[in-house]
Chain A
């Protein structure tokens, strides 16, 4: 119990130091808080990858709102509340998207049929998806964040900007560069492969 209480006091001190610009304390706090954030996200979101994405959203918001933390109050509820909020937003958005989308499983037969007829096309589609994933993973951080928020999450620019801490202009530039880099990279793959 004493260790836990002590640890909580340490977290508050780290956060206060982070507000003063201490990067090492901030790094220690965010890493120490990861299990808490992951627990909050996993309680709300069953899909492991989606929950991890929510944790990353929460980290971006924590960073953006770090000036709102009051060091006289415990930091855990503050961190957990932000993470809860990001999870709820993510679930809501997914709900909205699902309303517009039809699960691809419903077309399993339709998709499988041409694969039998022309296995080459299907394997090419699979290759492209894997390549796309790899290409996105290799993008610089800011471009990946911009692409993720503005294109994949389909957020309005202002909201993507609020979440990422990047200005609207920087987001536009980063998204544009990311798309160009992907096109260049994947265009090259198709030429090489086909």
Chain B
């Protein structure tokens, strides 16, 4: 039982939290800008590496570097939107999708160019997990990751329900034309969407770097599970994305638990395949997701 909690459930929740932070951005961008943002994973990578620079040069802990990484990533995302996505906004969606493919490659190459291709950690050395009730083991950084995710989700909830911009965002996600008719400044909403999407992507990247290590492909490898989470939760539904992220993260980890007999239910090599299978199945049989999202 404790092995289940320590080695399967807690890692699943941590992975799920990281997926959720990425999926919120993907889901909102899909809802408001109407396209699948394929460069989202690489924005995560970029955020993680911005934080790395601060960790290495100023000696700050990754969490202290987080706000600056968020700021830089958001600025980069806004510039990318202005240069590469806005010109295609009135055209076919597939053009923006392919543009975001190109942006993904550019960002990844830039990371390889500036920071190198090696795998690097924020800190090397051992960290003893904290032990609760003699048997429950959880590392301190994992507590930060879970706590940080909860904090950000609550903040996002307050933003979406209490502020004008948040409400405008939800309105635009529900019906773009109706939102414009009621006088919502759509370009400003788009800027806010990028601020939240790219900011949370940077946080997810830094958390992933804290959990494991940094390398230029880290975000790209996360992209499909993040899409899976967004689709599972329902496109344009931030709360759905959170639930979707947790479900996907836990499904990946728990699929390797020896549910029947002693052998893992599914070879750990197929962990990510679980996410993709869930995603494809949802796309086909229930494209609105768990939270009744939009289908375009």
A, B in one complex: no
> Interface of B with A (CB < 8 Å)?
none
